[in-house]
Amino acid sequence: MTMSHERRETRDERRIMTGVCQTYQRYLEPGFSPFDPVELAGRTEEIVCRGERRKYTKFYCTGVYGGIATGYTCGCCLRCIFCWVNWSRDFPEKYGVLRSPAEAFSRLSRVARKAGVKQLRISGAEPTLGKSHLLGLLEKVESSPFRLFILETNGILIGAEADYARQIARFKKVHTRICLKAGTAEAFTKKTGALPESFELPFQGIVNLLEAGASFHVAAMTADARIVTQQERQMLLDRLASIDSALVSNLEEEVVDPYHTTLERLRYAGVKLTWGQGQ
């Protein structure tokens, strides 16, 4: 391949990317049109993935889960109004460097060894985008001395494709944390921007993980009375109980935290929350 051919390809890629990004869904604003999250996942993958490579902005160690090496990726298929991750979620074309599974694993290993921790994760985005990247990375973790990989997901793609859940369940070192955003279809659209019918997908993701025999637990944004009513919370609990009552006893309930990006996204969406002293 000649240099001029390489340059032409880069220009072509840039032109395609400009087209993709012009109509790309950013943060929610009042009057937004609900989107199909599976379609948005595909559009996001066009921006943040190339073959097995996926964009990351940094690798670091954090104190959550008792200390965990973290790869911060770009791109999600929901637009939660309370999302804390940085602007790479909304403008993924502007952030990150493409890394192969081997490169991502090597960088994760380096920060884990430096901090003396034995567990790894991907954060800052939806890790199930870029399936070949994720599965390639999990292969590396499985045959490594590391103890655990925590897969934090919104469950959309695992719900849309049962085989994805089966492929994840093959890895014995992977524990999935599937996070529910709302208890009704209407609230799901208001909080995530996704079409009401896609409310079912994360619940289907839970069913798929259960049937695949995967190690997982469920988290939900249900401990915050400012964004969830008692009735909506109860509907979510009932729905989980109809799948398996153990999901309710092991449920991890979350509140909205006032990160700068969260406050800005709430403001753009026109949603006002009151914060206590010190927040």
Site residues, ligand SF4 (CB under 6 A): 76, 78-80, 83, 85, 89, 125-126, 154
120-155 as b/e: b if 16+ CB within 10 A: bbbbbbbbbbbbebbbbbbebbeebebebbbbbbbb
Q: How many CA atoms lie within 13 A of 213 on its CB side?
A: 3
User: 83 or 269: whose CB is closer to ligand SF4?
Assistant: 83
User: 154 or 208: whose CB is closer to ligand SF4?
Assistant: 154
User: 43 or 89: whose CB is closer to ligand SF4?
Assistant: 89
Q: Are 181 and 188 in contact (CB under 8 A)?
A: yes
User: 109 or 192: whose CB is closer to ligand SF4?
Assistant: 192
Q: Are 249 and 202 in contact (CB under 8 A)?
A: no
Least Å from the CB of residue 13 to ligand SF4: 26
Closest CA to 191 of 37, 1, 54, 39: 37
Please name the residue that has the structure tokens 């066009």: 46
Hey, CA dihedral for 194, 195, 196, 198, is it positive or negative? negative
Least Å from the CB of residue 177 to ligand SF4: 11
CA gap 257, 178 in Å, rounded: 19
Least Å from the CB of residue 80 to ligand SF4: 3
Least Å from the CB of residue 68 to ligand SF4: 17
Least Å from the CB of residue 78 to ligand SF4: 4
Closest CA to 246 of 205, 217, 273, 269: 217
3 state DSSP class of 65: helix
User: 85 or 169: whose CB is closer to ligand SF4?
Assistant: 85
Least Å from the CB of residue 1 to ligand SF4: 37
User: 113 or 131: whose CB is closer to ligand SF4?
Assistant: 131
Least Å from the CB of residue 96 to ligand SF4: 14
User: 119 or 154: whose CB is closer to ligand SF4?
Assistant: 154
3 state DSSP class of 50: strand
